[in-house]
Structure 1
């Protein structure tokens, strides 16, 4: 099977390890991964801020870059939701049906939950709003984490509450955003897990920043980096 990796601009610019981990994981499962070099931003920041005219060229470019692929996989729930839910408003109906968030591609298309991962740490999982409410990922990420050898999954109190990032919401409403993030971090620390993971680095960037500023005994990590880790190639 051949797929295209839509790494997203946030991952490309700030979290390249997530794209590398996604590629390593998929290739370990026998998937041929292409990386179309023409990909850029999907247009979500512009769309969410109300700049619909400025969004259209990015929608058209993204659809064109990925038009030859049957499956497009992204380690970003928010970008997957942008393509699936909002691209049809611009007349783009081809790409949305071929866009998959990483965990749903693993479970629904490849039909696997045990990906051969090894991660001997305590982990709590934060479901992002886009994954939870728009993509309806359900228990897919949890099923993948529960199958990881050595991993102890701990329940996150208030897991379904927003972390406060919300893209430009964090910029326009910084005090409210920070307070929501602090609630999320407080709940994560209460689990005594060593890792808080999620499927969206935009949320993890927000949560991770609060963790670092408060010097909490916790680190934020994308689920792809956990699932790609093995005994032979452990995550550092």
Structure 2
């Protein structure tokens, strides 16, 4: 089984610890993940802003970077949704027939991390240890487009020492939405504030999620409020062990 890690541009630039945690977690489960250095961005920011043609070269790059791998795993539901949902749309409207070949090849091989763990590896107990109170925010892409369902919470419930607390209004958007947060900053901030209020009401130590884009938005509000709650990616919790305690 040949597996590649798609780190994503956000994790590579801002949250490299999430990509490192993903590799450590997979290796602990006996999976060696390669890191193709040709990878860059999946094209989501460009496509969502209306630049479909400008996204096409990134689709081609993704196809070349991950050619020959059985599975492409990424700790980002939004990027998986971009490939699965929008690459076929881009190919259908493009004039280059190679776009269809890239889309048809890459779409079935692209997996969000919790999907890969539960559906492909067939595990929910990954041997993690994280003695903290945690609440989980399901991002819009993971919840609505990928249908991750209970996979993330199954994994969290199996973590030794972890107490999972239900998040009120969990299915409500945090307000990030990529360029939505830039173009509609007041609405975005208000939505994020509601998510923060609900998160703080749980009394949890950590708010976790499977998309660092959402966690960046929520975490920024938490830091500005000097709130006693930390935003942390799910992969970093699952990678934590008694031998290497989280701090």
Question: Into which bin does the TM-score normalised by the smaller protein fall?
Answer: over 0.9
Q: Does 1:111 align with 2:129?
A: no
Correspondence for 1:95 among 106, 109, 112: 106
What is aligned with 2:96?
Answer: none
Aligned equivalents of 1:33 and 1:42: distance in 2?
Answer: 19
Q: Does 1:26 align with 2:10?
A: no
Q: What are the residue-to-residue correspondences of 1:85-164 with 2, within 5 Å?
A: 85-89=85-89, 90=91, 91=100, 92-164=103-175
Q: Does 1:227 align with 2:228?
A: no
Correspondence for 1:196 among 200, 203, 207: 207
| Cα displacement string for residues 157-216 of structure 1 (whole angstroms, at most 9, x for unaligned residues) | 000000000000000000000000000000000000000000000000000000000111
Local SS of the residue matching 2:216: helix
Tell me how far 1:2 sits from its aligned partner: 2.8
Q: Which runs of 5+ in 2 are unaligned?
A: 92-99
What is aligned with 2:46?
Answer: 46
Local SS of the residue matching 2:104: coil
Local SS of the residue matching 1:68: coil
Aligned equivalents of 1:160 and 1:194: distance in 2?
Answer: 20
Runs of 4+, deviation exceeding 3 Å: none
Q: How many residues align?
A: 236
Correspondence for 1:212 among 223, 229, 235: 223
Give the alignment's TM-score, normalised by structure 1: 0.99
What is aligned with 1:70?
Answer: 70
Aligned equivalents of 1:217 and 1:79: distance in 2?
Answer: 30
What is aligned with 2:10?
Answer: 10
Tell me how far 1:109 sits from its aligned partner: 0.1
Q: Does 1:171 align with 2:182?
A: yes
Aligned equivalents of 1:186 and 1:216: distance in 2?
Answer: 10
Q: Which runs of 5+ in 1 are unaligned?
A: none
Q: Does 1:83 align with 2:101?
A: no
Aligned equivalents of 2:192 and 2:124: distance in 1?
Answer: 30
Aligned equivalents of 1:156 and 1:13: distance in 2?
Answer: 29
Aligned equivalents of 2:87 and 2:171: distance in 1?
Answer: 26
Aligned equivalents of 2:76 and 2:32: distance in 1?
Answer: 19
Aligned equivalents of 1:143 and 1:72: distance in 2?
Answer: 22
Aligned equivalents of 2:203 and 2:3: distance in 1?
Answer: 38
Aligned equivalents of 2:245 and 2:57: distance in 1?
Answer: 41
